[in-house]
Structure 1
Amino acid sequence: MAYSAIILAGGKGKRMGYREKALMAINGKPLISYVIDSLEKVVDNIIISVRDKAQGKMLDSVLPGYTYAFDEYENTGPLAGILSGLTVCRDDFCFIAACDMPFINENVIKLLFKSGENYDAAIPRREDGFLEPLHAVYKCKPMIFETEKAIRNGEKIVLAPIQKLRANYVEMQEIRKIDTNLRTFININTPEEMDIINKNV
């Protein structure tokens, strides 16, 4: 079975001072490249979801050879990027991740794909019940249907379509067996966090 991955890169980077987060460097290498390196060990196809063609052209000049998807809806948050990426996807299952997660663990992704085989989604769930929907596997057709419906209803939060899916919630104790410190979920939102990562990579 072939698998795809969607990297959500269409955010405006508000907390980063409106800089292009995907291209910000860790040790001289674009942040999104760390995500791609992990995903290429697991999936057959990578889709980069961007907000518009101008951003796509900018990223393609640095990261040529990937499929780009463009948002059809404005001011809809990550749901627009999820929908555009899933619409382009040609495989049954897709891993969705944010572009600011440089330590994604390929073996955790494999676990999620396996966990999602007989479901509409496989979503990590923390001990406090908090979900990680932007580090999860989805069956494309049901997720497209529910995401379109959520957007039509004016929803913007990622959890809106997920509530209607037949999901397998993967507990942290299973993921910790692979990634003890759960580094796979680390994401970078501020310049201060970027500085910390740069000093520790």
Structure 2
Amino acid sequence: MSERTLVDVTGVLIAGGKSLRMGRDKRFLKVNGESVFDRTLSLLMDTFVETVVVLAEPIESLEVRGCRVVYDVIPNAGSLGGLYTGLLAASQPRIFAVACDMPFLHAEVIRYMVSCDETADVVVAELEGQFQPMHAVYSKRCAEFLKAMAERQNLKIQTLYRSEALRVAVLGANALSSLGVGLRSFQNINTPEDLALANAPISDKP
């Protein structure tokens, strides 16, 4: 085990989305010739002592490299259901949860978020007024709140951050930009236009 491997946090790759806006399965997208799913899984495996992949249902052609695969405990609950399932499956007290559509996920950003406030139940970025729930740290304490939200059919993860019973640390753009890798770690791909932008040469990007 590398001394840089984080041993008290589980990396959770949430890969059960329906990719409605993309029009095809985002788990098989490639950016600059590299599978986004494969790159994300490799980065999590290099960073955490344990990595779990959360799916909505089995998919034979997805290579998970020996990582444990779990399936949504609450069906049809979207990302909230995947997050809840990941928290239940994790053996560590906290998880770093990330979606499978972030081609520029960066280990330095992950390590900063994991280490900046180890007492918080949630460490989440707020960029341009929007929370980034699928690139965030959660403690196991969040599971019961997510379950209650799902039972109420409130599937918006951001609602969790308003709970007075949880300690939530919110990171702004200034703190994250100071890491030197910018905010590209949070860039995701929801549409064909997003994919084209991700594949554009660096000089063409805004």
TM-score by length of 1: 0.88
Cα distance in 1 for residues equivalent to 2:161 and 2:10: 19
2:135 maps to 135
Deviation at 1:58, TM superposition (A): 3.0
Unaligned runs of 5+ in 1: none
| Counterparts of residues 162-173 of structure 1 (less than 5 Å) | 162-164=161-163, 165-173=166-174
User: Given the alignment of the two structures, is residue 20 of structure 1 paired with residue 21 of structure 2, yes or no?
Assistant: no
Residue-by-residue CA offset, 1:62-118 (whole Å, 9 max, x unaligned): 233111120122322211111111111000111011100011111111111112311
Rounded to whole Å, the distance in 2 between the matches of 1:90 and 1:116 is: 20
1:11-67 Cα offsets, whole Å, 9 max, x none, are 1111121x22111222332211221233233211111111112x3x332xx233111
Whichever residue aligns with residue 56 of structure 2, its letter is: R
**Alpha-carbon contact 2:41-2:64 (below 8 Å) kept:** no
| Residue equivalent to 1:159 | 158
- Secondary structure of the structure 2 residue equivalent to 1:14: coil
Structure 2 segments unaligned to the other structure (5+ residues): 1-6
Equivalent residue in structure 2 for 1:42, among 29, 44, 47: 47
Find the aligned partners of 1:13 and 1:122 in 2 and give their Cα distance: 26
> Residue 3 of structure 1 aligns with which residue?
9
RMSD between superposed Cα atoms in Å: 1.8
Larger % of helix: which? 1
Q: Secondary structure at the match of 2:200?
A: helix
Give the conservation status (yes or no) of the 8 Å contact 1:116–1:168: yes
Structure 2 residue 73 is the aligned partner of structure 1 residue 58: no
User: Does structure 1 retain, via aligned residues, the 8 Å contact 2:125–2:131?
Assistant: yes
- For residues 100 and 24 of structure 1, the distance between their equivalents in structure 2, rounded to whole angstroms, comes to 8
Check whether the contact 1:124–1:169 (CA below 8 A) recurs between aligned residues.
yes
Instruction: Report the counterpart of residue 200 of structure 1 in structure 2.
Output: 201
Distance 1:171 1:199 in 2: 27
TM-score by structure 2 length?
0.86
The alignment partner of 1:189 has SS state of coil
Instruction: Tell me, in whole angstroms, the C-alpha distance in 1 between the residues paired with 2:31 and 2:173.
Output: 27
In the alignment, structure 1 residue 31 sits paired with structure 2 residue 30: no
Inter-partner Cα distance in structure 1 for 2:139 and 2:72: 20
- Paired with 2:195 and 2:142, the residues of 1 have a C-alpha distance of 32
Alpha-carbon distance in 1 for matches of 2:109, 2:135: 10
2:146 aligned with 1:147: yes
For 2:34, the aligned partner's letter is K
Number of residue pairs matched by the alignment: 194
Deviations 1:167-186 (A, max 9, x none): 11122211111145311110
Deviation at 1:193, TM superposition (A): 2.0
Give the Å deviation of 1:5.
Answer: 1.1
Runs of 4 or more above 3 Å deviation: none
Give 1:119's aligned residue: 120
